[in-house]
Amino acid sequence: MGNRGQKRTEMVDRLPADKRACSSLEFRPSSSSSSIQMHLTSTNSSPGIHDNDMDTSSSASASSRSEGEHDKDSAYGSCDSDDAEQKHSDLRNYHRQRSSGDHGRFKRLLTSLGEESESSVQTELLRELCEVLSFCTENSISSMTSDSLSIILVNLVKLDSDSDIVLLALRALTYLCDAYPRASSFIVRHGGVPAFCKRLGAIEYSDVAEQCFQALEKISQEHPVACLEGGAVMAVLTFIDFFPTIIQRTALRIVVNVCKKLPSECPQNLIEAVPILCNLLQYDDEELVENVARCMIKIAECVHQSSELLDGLCQHGLIQHAIRLINLNSRTTLSQTIYNDLLGVLIKLASGSIVAFETLYELNISNTLKDILSAYNLSHGVSSSCAVVDGQRNQVCEVLKLLNELLPTEDAKTEQLSEKVSFLVSNPKQLQKFGLDILPLLVQVVSSGANLYVCCGCLTIIYKFVCLGESDMLVELLENSNISSFLAGVFTRKDHHVLMLGLKITEIILQKLASTFLKSFVKEGVYFSIDALISPDKYKQLIFPVFTGVHSSFGSCQKSSREHGRCLCYAFSSSCFPSVSETGSCKLDKDSVYSLANHIRSIYFAEDLCDTDEGVTDILQNLRTFSGALDDLLNLSLIKDTPAQDEEKLYALLAEIMSKLKCGEPISTFEFIESGIVKSFINYITNGQYLRKKGESQPISRHFSIIERRFEAFARLLLSSSDHPSVNLPVLALIRKLQISLSSLENFHVIISSQGFKHRNYFVTVPNARCVPHPCVKVRFVRGDGETDLCDINGDILNVDPFSSLTAIEGFLWPKVSSQKTEQSPEDTLREHQIKLLSKLVGSDIMSTDLPEVQVPAEVSADEKSQCSASCSKKGTAPRLLLYLEGKQLEPTLSIYQAILQQHIKENETISGIKIWSQVYTIMYRSAGEVEDSTCNQLFCASDKALKLQFSSFFCDILDCVLPSDLAKGSPAYDVLFLLRSIEGMNRMAFHIMSHERIRAFADGKIDTLDNIKLSVPSVSQNEFVNSKLTEKLEQQMRDFSAVSVGGMPLWCKELMDSCPFLFSFEARRKYFRIVVFGMPQYQLHARSHSDFGTSNDGRSSSGGLPRKKVLVHRSQILDSASKMMNQYANQKVLLEVEYDEEVGTGLGPTLEFYTLVSREFQKNGLGMWRGDHDAFISGKRLNIEDRETTESPFGLFPRPWPSTLDTDKLHLPEVMKKFVLLGQIVAKAIQDCRVLDIYFSKAFYKLILGQELSIYDIQSFDPELGTVLLEFQALVNRNKLLGSVYEENSSSKLEFSYHNTNIEDLCLDFTLPGYPDYLLTSSQDNSMVNAKNLENYVSLVADATLCSGISRQIEAFKSGFNQVFPIEHLQVFTAEELERLICGEQDIWALSDLLDNMKFDHGYTSSSPSIVHLLEIIQDFDNKQQRAFLQFVTGAPRLPSGGFASLNPKLTIVRKHSSNLVDYDLPSVMTCANYLKLPPYSSKEIMKEKLLYAITEGQGSFHLS
């Protein structure tokens, strides 16, 4: 019988070689015996499945139950207690009788075996004994019987020469150990182990040897020491190569059992086995190699104190094999625990053996470790302690420990350490290679926001390297790593251990290379940071943040270290096992940092630098001058109402500053921030309104037009380049400076809360009684002093869901504390009854008890989290209670977890997860009373609403933004964020802003002809705005268990995502979006914490935790079937799977094809949904679906405008609205289920989905001709207005009012919407024809009908359908282009490297097979239509999911199809559910291309079994 879940190599050969769609249940291990039986039954019931030449078919797999079966609860039969007792009584009687009979048979067999000497008779007796032992139970055998049997059977193994008797005796002993485990003691006592080993030492019969292996495996589980002493290790390993893999695995399990209990001194017979074990590490079998690795790990732990024995391990190639296994390109995949333990072996070897130390360098270990760290993505998944994370030591810490061992200190006291130092001194190239590989990566890790533990480890390694390196070698390495800027960032950290290591590194560099780095230390602000540690008062006015609280923070630093259990002084100690003293007090005293900083300043920095002004560089001084000049000119312009000449001076000054930033001398981050340029830029574009204080009554109307012009000028300056467009734009230099500055300035905390709790169910009572998969917060609610209107509740400690909003907690408290109590509702009574019932189930201590038997579906929890998130965002609901923690009022929009974090962050830099969950918090509640309206602090108040509509909400969004509350308004980090946000918005709206400026220039006469209004605007890639440090922090935060909802993450995550989502990569935002909207199911939480490398595939299977629903669909009625499906399941969090009528296929392939077919139906003419659909209802044509053509939309689909006045529209518009509702449901459901739609929406439509306003400038994106004409008309209108204000009415201005030398009247335009003659723009008779006087009204009406009134009902219908699945507002973290990727997937060019990296070749094919080479060449030459057909054939969808081939899950797998002799007549076949292509080995590339094209074009349209 095969093992459950075990991969069977022969399975693929039995799979039908057809286009098969199947359930994911076929590709995962069964979870119960019933599921196994069902799977076997379905497999065996169809023995006649064969490959056909060409058949797109599908299997009715184990998941092909009827739709209703998914919902059916498991039902178990019940019986009366009397019947149950009778059955148990009968069962006991049966076993009693069976045992009595077995005792008698054992007695007879014992007597016969002791007396009988005839071989044939003994053989029969042993066979009978084996039969009895195989069916008996432990109760059937007594201890005396077992002892007697052991004596006889062991003697037969020792003495008998008959192989059959020996084999049967061994088998009987194995069965005896199974039936009566204590029998292994008797076997050992009577010499069984040496007897087995002797038989293995002189193998005559393989079956006897194999039986010896099985017997020894049983014995080694209980008596490993006896097996070790009896020589079992060498006995099972000596001839291991002669046995098949299954026996080799058994042999290694024996050795693993033996190694579990090794003595303190490793025995010689185990040392003798090391060469064989090292040789076995080269084998291909993963289970075998992993067990060998376990053995070597135990042996290394046993001998780690003996240098001679460690040297012996190295001589047998252990290091080479270990490096090969930990290499990312290794063919063998190890579990994370074994992987980390192998790194631990290398640590022990490097620590205790000079041979190992030298070998590691000679094998270029630094390159391997560099690859590991780069792939692991260091800042992701790093715990706040390197001890244990979910039972697994953190891989990052193991690598850092190994790097630490590879760099001994120069003041080495032991002989071995001195030898290591001598080796590195005599081999400088080895050390240089080490630095080239590791140093830049360590700098990147610390700079990317790694936690204190990892930060200290990296700094320790850098310090050791700088100590050991020669001056000439260090210069290039340190300059390439930008060590000065790096150290300046280190000195912004608050922990004394980090500051001390930074000072030590600075001191060593100045000792060796003072002449080289002294100036750069001043330029980058290192000097100022060190001086601020000594004289903090001198630097209070410094813009660049330096740490000045060195004495006051020392206590909290020690407190933080104690909470982690081990001081950071010993984080990466050289000893493998810390002594008692190492876990004690901190090595640093209060004045350590001050003393070293003072020493460095007095020795290495000249006295004239101590004057702050003298220490300023020329570049900083120049930038300050520019900044001051810009500020003075701005202040002057405010007084003089900004005349045009002042604007020209401002622009010229800005251009000079940008020239310095782009082409001048290199400007350090310190100089850039300290110069004040950022704040000057902000004051310029906001006209000084950036920091307008709350309550100021100065009207914004007088500034708005100026701000508009400033943005236009700023855009013209930053987005214009004489070089190649989009390559050397000035804005790129500014963005990159701002990104570097933000990375240096920000100090958002990453809180890892997974310490101190187990993955289990926890019971919470607030706000709702239920089980949750995460710990709860212990809270005591108390009434505020003097609150007479509120009742006092008992002071019991309650378990609160930490991720519930404070609004929800207020809802829990209000009925209990309100003095106006109402009668208890039946629901409340039921709820209290449920709480009492659950309390009885879990016992009296309800706060800390698991509830493994009480399960809460993941989707319910996700719903509650989503509702919580939604409730947090609601405005206008006045709170009835105010909540206070430690005297400070809590924001209602926060979760209780976030509120606690905010308190901790203000006290310490590091936050211990253990403390959060163990501490009891006291929350005081007070009556809210009347709450003041806080909206008046916005830059634009309600009175300016009309003004907003004049241009766009763009400037309002920029100026009214609310940045993270952790940042003080006006701080350097706040300024940098504000300017970045402004530039990113300007980049997105560049066409709008610069087109508006061109129209203004035409009106002012600066542009002569309308042709010059047209422009091509360069833009910057959105990737330039992504901050890698913040992205890594968010990724790390989302890997923590607390990221089950947005309320489980620090507040800065939500605030930054709301205000500056562009700072995070698309992939990070997509993960965040799914957490916020759908929550984190328990299965993902568990898988995430146990993943090998912390990576996850967010492809099409990421919704796999949702319950599945199978839906029947009719191909001939796709939209009708889709409508019924959505009406039933749109508001349910279920994963939909499609099965077509009269087709047996189900699973991923048919489901993806369904979404593709629906997408195509929505694009057909006659629906009246899209612009360009001229076969709509008005034409009177009602064609069949098959006869309809696709709507022509070269620039993307945009809603067709429908008037509200035409009578015939009242009949057809409701149908259009229904279609848009359905479209909204389909799009939202596709996003939820991670499906891909094959539909091409215009960019403007995506902006409408995102809730963004459209303007006249957006029309060009979907109708270029109409958009261009309207902009030209608008330019004419503006010029006419300007001329009318300058000249009198009878002036010659009318002569200039012509459109391309044609009078407006001669254009013969009427007041109907262009392209829609039935759409009347106005009912007024005066506006029948367009002329010069009503042209402005005409442009306004056309724009309104196209972008607003004509499509508003359709857009609202789309949103109403979408909101049935999840709130559409959550999509606002994406841009329009990213939303297209999310909905429609990727359409990138297929690169060969991308194909090779994300394809799997198996079962006869490798990446170098001729057939694979031909296939890759063929698909690379495909045009777009052929690529789409290929994807449709293999995956079920014509587009790749977001992320491309890398996101296909499972991977695109190509295997050899075993065909008949006429291979060139066979056709490729696929299984769409597994992205599985079976490709025959064609004789030539031409034949392969012919057959493949035939298959992908003809082999679609149905899913059937072959």
Quote the CA–CA distance of 395 and 1374 in Å, as a whole number: 33
* Tokens coding 705: 């037009």
Which among 458, 462, 461, 471 has a CA at the least distance from the CA of 511? 471
Which among 23, 8, 17 has a CA at the least distance from the CA of 56? 17
Residue 1440 DSSP label: B
* Tokens coding 1159: 């997408």
* Tokens coding 598: 């003072």
Which among 1233, 1135, 1152 has a CA at the least distance from the CA of 70? 1135
Cβ(1360)–Cβ(1224) below 8 Å: yes
Q: Give one word for 643, left, alpha or beta, with left for phi > 0 and alpha for psi -120 to 50.
A: beta
DSSP string, 995-1055: HHHHHHHHHTTSS-SGGGG--------GGGG--HHHHHHHHHHHHSTTTTSGGGS-HHHHH
Quote the CA–CA distance of 570 and 573 in Å, as a whole number: 5
* Tokens coding 1432: 């449709």
Report which residue type is found at 121. V
Which among 451, 375, 405, 307 has a CA at the least distance from the CA of 1092? 375
Cβ(1432)–Cβ(1438) below 8 Å: yes
Residues 6+ apart with CB under 8 A from 224: 257, 258, 259, 260, 261
| Residue 533 burial (C-beta neighbours within 10 Å; 0-12, 13-18, 19+) | buried
Collapsing DSSP to helix, strand or coil, 940 comes out as: coil
Residues 6+ apart with CB under 8 A from 446: 455, 458, 459, 486, 489, 490
DSSP string, 1473-1488: GGTEEEE---SSHHHH
Quote the CA–CA distance of 258 and 333 in Å, as a whole number: 24
Bridge partner list, 772: 762
* Tokens coding 1393: 């490297």
Q: Give one word for 25, left, alpha or beta, with left for phi > 0 and alpha for psi -120 to 50.
A: alpha
Residue recorded with tokens 């005349």: 643
Residue 386 C-alpha from the chain's centroid? 21
- Residue in 266, 467, 872, 1473 annotated catalytic: 1473
Quote the CA–CA distance of 995 and 1015 in Å, as a whole number: 7
Task: Please report which helix (H) or strand (E) contains residue 1199, including its range.
Answer: none
Task: List Cβ<8 Å contacts ≥24 apart for 238-244.
Answer: 238/200, 238/201, 238/276, 239/200, 239/203, 239/209, 240/276, 240/280, 242/203, 242/206, 243/206, 243/209, 243/210, 243/213
Find the DSSP H helices in 1287-1331: 1293-1296
Residue recorded with tokens 């082999």: 1499
Phi and psi, residue 211, nearest 5°? -70, -35
Bridge partner list, 1146: 1139
Quote the CA–CA distance of 1393 and 406 in Å, as a whole number: 35
Task: Please report which helix (H) or strand (E) contains residue 879, including its range.
Answer: none
Residues 6+ apart with CB under 8 A from 1384: 1236, 1237, 1238, 1239, 1240, 1241, 1439
Q: Most distant CA pair in the chain: distance in Å?
A: 139
Give yes or no: 1473 in active site: yes
User: What amino acid positions are annotated as catalytic residues?
Assistant: 1473
